[in-house]
Amino acid sequence: MLNTIKPYFSFSVALLVATILVIVDFYFTDIAIFWIAVLWIVLFSTILVMLGQLIHAEKEIQNYATQLTSNKERLTNEIKHRLWAEKTTAETKAKSQIIDENIPVLLAYFNTEQRCRYHNRIFRRWFGLKPDQIDGSLLQEFANKEFSSSIQNHIEDILAGKTIHEERVMKSAKGFPYIFTEQYVPHQDNKGKIIGFYTLHTPCAQDNKRFTSRNDQKAKPALEIDSMSTTKKSTKDHSQTGITADRIAQAIKGGEFNLYCQRILALDPNSLLPDHYEILIRMAEEENNLMPPGSFLPLVDQFGMMPELDRWVVSHIIKCLTTFLNGSRSVFCLNVAKDTLCDKTFISFVQDRLQKSKIPAHLLCFEIEELDAESHLIETIFFSNKIRELGCLVTLCSFGQNTASLNLLKKLRIDYLKIDGGIICNMLNNDEDHMRVEGINQIARKLNIKTIAELVENDETAVKLREIGINFAQGFGIARPCPLDNLDTLSKKAENPE
């Protein structure tokens, strides 16, 4: 308030003194010169004060103008940043929505208290719950025991910063079993402290048909969660994955694949049977985490390019057997697609490669899915007969889900019978599945066919299978898939354990 009065006070004093001087000059000429001088000094001083105040006021006005300009520029920048942030948020939201609604992976995030802080649409639909029934809830409050048990078994390792990879079978709300690759990924803050973890359950796309019986094939989709999140796309363009027919053809031509192998263990420790390995294939986009493992195979199948891909796998395996795996006694099991079964030139292709490489034909075993064999029975019979004449072996996979399976054994010449993983996973808790495994083993023994149990997840299952008399076991409980290039080193370690 004082600063506001000062300018007016100086002006009033100057005006008053000037008025007195005028009056004195005209009416009081006899006043002493001394007092007139005093009045002039006061007037002059007051004018100087007023000039100082004017200069100070001008500086303040300039400062205010500078601040106003600065604030205006800051406000303009803030508006630009806000618009950019809104645009970025909208784009991020759109991308998140694509992940939430379209990616066929059960994705969720939990804090260290195991409260769910994020979940995508597939995750919600798997449990049949609404978002508000999951948001902020503890894992055990909404998840069934089957889902939460694996997390509870590994929670200490997860919170210690270890990433967990497992393979397991889970049943949907409708009771259908599916194979999942599950991953638990710890989340660290800037200081390296674990503040939560992600759970990812990826359906094994190449095993989609394993749990679908022939009677259910038309009624039930290959993977139930796919029907929740996606609509059918043109086989010429798959925008969700970015994989097109041209891209597949380019990858096959350029060999842009990596082969993995998973050991198939002989359960009898005294057995003289050689090591067996199933060959798995991954595309470059999978290696770079641009698409879920195995998810490109259905696209190759839809594009009608499986025969070309199967030829590439055969050529690559034979090349490995003539180089770093030279002298190996191991049997390598290669999956054969239904289109390859119908390709009459494929057998001659295999024969030509075997003759040129001079490798023993019995090192190659071709795996045929039971559903493919049923739907293309004549072609399968022809394929199995001819490929065995070359000296190669044949496996019938995913066997035992329906009674029609037994009829195939009467018509096909095979060497191995791979029992369906859905039966194996449930055999310890389901007497019917246990009896089914025993029955399949008895039939296989009578036909002199060796048996393989797939998706063996633990030692208890392996022990029970050994008691029943199953010849081989395969699954994460036996061995995890590893790059084929590492097989020679792993085989030497297995032969010479420390």
Q: 3-state SS of the chain?
A: CHHHHHHHHHHHHHHHHHHHHHHHHHHCCCCCHHHHHHHHHHHHHHHHHHHHHHHHHHHHHHHHHHHHHHHHHHHHHHHHHHHHHHHHHHHHHHHHHHHHHHCCCEEEEEECCCEEEEECHHHHHHHCCCHHHCCCCEHHHHCCHHHHHHHHHHHHHHHCCCCEEEEEEEECCCCCEEEEEEEEEEEECCCCCEEEEEEEEEECHHHHHHHCCCCCCCCCCCCCCHHHHCCCCCCCEECCCCEEHHHHHHHHHHCCEEEEEEEEEECCCCCCCCCEEEEEEEEHHHHCCCCCCCCHHHHHHHCCCHHHHHHHHHHHHHHHHCCCCCCCCCEEEEEECHHHHCCCCHHHHHHHHHHHHCCCHHHEEEEEEHHHHHHCHHHHHHHHHHHHHCCCEEEEEEECCCCCHHHHHHHCCCCEEEECHHHHHHCCCCHHHHHHHHHHHHHHHHCCCEEEECCCCCHHHHHHHHHHCCCEECCCCCCCCEEHHHHHHHHHHHHCCC
Distance, CA of 320 to CA of 334 (rounded, Å): 14
Quote the pLDDT of residue 233.
Answer: 39
Question: Where does residue 415 fall: left (phi above 0), alpha (psi -120 to 50 degrees), or beta otherwise?
Answer: alpha
In Å, what is the CA distance from 329 to each residue of 198, 277, 304, 442, 492?
A: 41, 11, 33, 28, 13
Which residues touch 399 (CB under 8 Å, ≥6 apart)?
370, 405, 408, 417, 418, 419, 420, 440
CB 46 within 8 A of CB 13: yes
Over residues 404-423, the mean pLDDT reads: 88
Over residues 463-480, the mean pLDDT reads: 93
User: To 10 degrees, what angle do helices 306-321 and 346-357 make?
Assistant: 10
Across 32-46, 177-191, 202-216, 287-301, which has the greatest mean pLDDT?
177-191
Distance, CA of 53 to CA of 36 (rounded, Å): 26
DSSP bridge pairs for 277: 263, 332
Q: Which tens digit of pLDDT belongs to each residue from 79-102?
A: 888 888 888 777 777 766 766 666
Q: Which residue has the tokens 């490929």?
A: 387
Quote the pLDDT of residue 65.
Answer: 87
Quote the pLDDT of residue 10.
Answer: 63
230 domain-assigned: no
Query: What pLDDT band is residue 228 in, cutting at 50, 70 and 90?
Result: very low
pLDDT at 220 over 80: no
Mean pLDDT, the chain, rounded, equals 80
Q: Cα angle vertex 154, ends 152, 159, to 5°?
A: 100
Structure tokens given for 116: 């769910």
Q: Which value, to the nearest 10 degrees, does the dihedral of the CA atoms of residues 450, 349, 293, 248 take?
A: -160
The candidate with the shortest Cα–Cα distance to 415, out of 331, 327, 296, is 331
Quote the pLDDT of residue 408.
Answer: 87
Residues 490 and 365 in one domain: yes
Residues 13 and 136 in one domain: no
226 domain-assigned: no
Lowest mean pLDDT of 14-18, 100-104, 236-240, name the range.
236-240
Quote the pLDDT of residue 208.
Answer: 42
Distance, CA of 33 to CA of 110 (rounded, Å): 95
DSSP bridge pairs for 433: none
CATH number of residue 199's parent domain: 3.30.450.20
Residues 53 and 109 in one domain: no
**Number of structural domains, the chain?**
3
**CA 82 centroid distance within chain:** 32
The bridge status of strand 416-419 relative to strand 393-399 is parallel
Distance, CA of 282 to CA of 85 (rounded, Å): 38
Q: For 217, list phi and psi in degrees, rounded to 5.
A: -60, -40
Residues 89 and 113 in one domain: no
99 domain-assigned: no
Across 85-94, 396-405, 476-485, which has the greatest mean pLDDT?
476-485
Quote the pLDDT of residue 469.
Answer: 95
Distance, CA of 317 to CA of 315 (rounded, Å): 6
Quote the pLDDT of residue 435.
Answer: 93
Query: What pLDDT band is residue 339 in, cutting at 50, 70 and 90?
Result: very high
pLDDT at 421 over 90: no
Quote the pLDDT of residue 13.
Answer: 66
Amino acid at 121: R
Lowest mean pLDDT of 2-16, 79-93, 109-123, name the range.
2-16
pLDDT at 60 over 90: no
Over residues 53-68, the mean pLDDT reads: 84
Distance, CA of 319 to CA of 286 (rounded, Å): 23
Residues 302 and 371 in one domain: yes
pLDDT above 70 coverage of the chain, percent: 75
47 domain-assigned: yes
Residues 66 and 145 in one domain: no
Over residues 447-475, the mean pLDDT reads: 94
Residues 264 and 162 in one domain: no
Residues 178 and 266 in one domain: no
Residues 243 and 304 in one domain: yes
Residues 421 and 303 in one domain: yes
Over residues 124-141, the mean pLDDT reads: 87
Query: What pLDDT band is residue 11 in, cutting at 50, 70 and 90?
Result: low
Distance, CA of 453 to CA of 395 (rounded, Å): 12
CATH number of residue 403's parent domain: 3.20.20.450
Quote the pLDDT of residue 148.
Answer: 84
Quote the pLDDT of residue 212.
Answer: 39
Query: What pLDDT band is residue 234 in, cutting at 50, 70 and 90?
Result: very low
Query: What pLDDT band is residue 210 in, cutting at 50, 70 and 90?
Result: very low
pLDDT at 299 over 80: no
Instruction: Specify the higher pLDDT residue, 159 or 247.
Output: 159
pLDDT at 327 over 90: no
100 domain-assigned: no
Lowest mean pLDDT of 315-319, 323-327, 458-462, 479-483, name the range.
323-327
Amino acid at 37: A
330 domain-assigned: yes
pLDDT at 230 over 60: no
Residues 304 and 440 in one domain: yes
CB 223 within 8 A of CB 123: no
Instruction: Specify the higher pLDDT residue, 219 or 45.
Output: 45
410 domain-assigned: yes
Residues 345 and 404 in one domain: yes
pLDDT at 124 over 70: yes
pLDDT at 171 over 90: no
pLDDT at 323 over 80: yes
Domain that holds residue 436: 237-495
Query: What pLDDT band is residue 25 in, cutting at 50, 70 and 90?
Result: low
Lowest mean pLDDT of 16-30, 111-125, 298-312, name the range.
16-30
220 domain-assigned: no
CB neighbour class for 428 (10 Å; exposed up to 12, middle 13-18, buried from 19): middle
